[in-house]
Structure 1
Amino acid sequence: MRFDPNGCDESLPVIYHWEFCEPGGECHGYVGQAKYGSQRPKEAYAYNVSRLLNGEPYRPNKPDDWRRVHRIMAQAVSKDWEITLSLVENCDEIDLSRRERHWIAEKGCTLNNG
């Protein structure tokens, strides 16, 4: 996995972008927000993917409700696709959702729906 902080302060609220590129060139994107900085996207997704690949449930009451981004990330890990996590921008916590929607549209992300 490649990580690009893109000049962002990792300790502040941040918009981030995951990109998973298949060997043939097709890429899949996901934009998210983290109000406590880059730790969540850097650690939580890896933890969830590890659990998914080990056959563990998403939640006890929703065992098969893994989100699409988790499933694609697990596929990317198991098939050795190129994976990049980029920080997009820092913004005030109150603006995170609005900026996240902006960047989902701007980057044409396909994994934010489901």
Structure 2
Amino acid sequence: MTSLPLTLLRRALLPLALLGGAHASTLDLKVGQTGKLGDATVTLLRTQDSRCPMNARCIQAGDLITSVLVRQGSRVRLLRLKLSDTTAQSTGLHISGATASMAGQRLPLTVTFSDGH
């Protein structure tokens, strides 16, 4: 048996092995909280949650929109991110999830951010 098939197999599997270790970092924040996500410091300033509560029937699904302050070194940016917004990927930061609400309850909202790596 030649070593050619084994060499080809190694070349094919190496990129997959390298990708296996690459995953997005996440950060859970409530309004007013600050945390580190990669090399950025993220502060959740404001949320606007018009999503349909889990125990309700709604005509529209609604949206979750956040205002966040992002500091990376000497650069500071104010971003407006939307839960379902796929175009936010260009900023390197997006909302990957949030706690669900129930009709009649006013629990603090926790938003999960991801760096998209």
In the superposition, the TM-score normalised over structure 1's length comes to 0.29
Would you tell me which structure has more helix in proportion to its own residues? Answer: 1
In the superposition, the TM-score normalised over structure 2's length comes to 0.29
Q: Report 1 or 2 for greater relative contact order, CA contacts < 8 Å, sequence distance ≥ 6.
A: 1
Would you tell me which structure has more strand in proportion to its own residues? Answer: 2
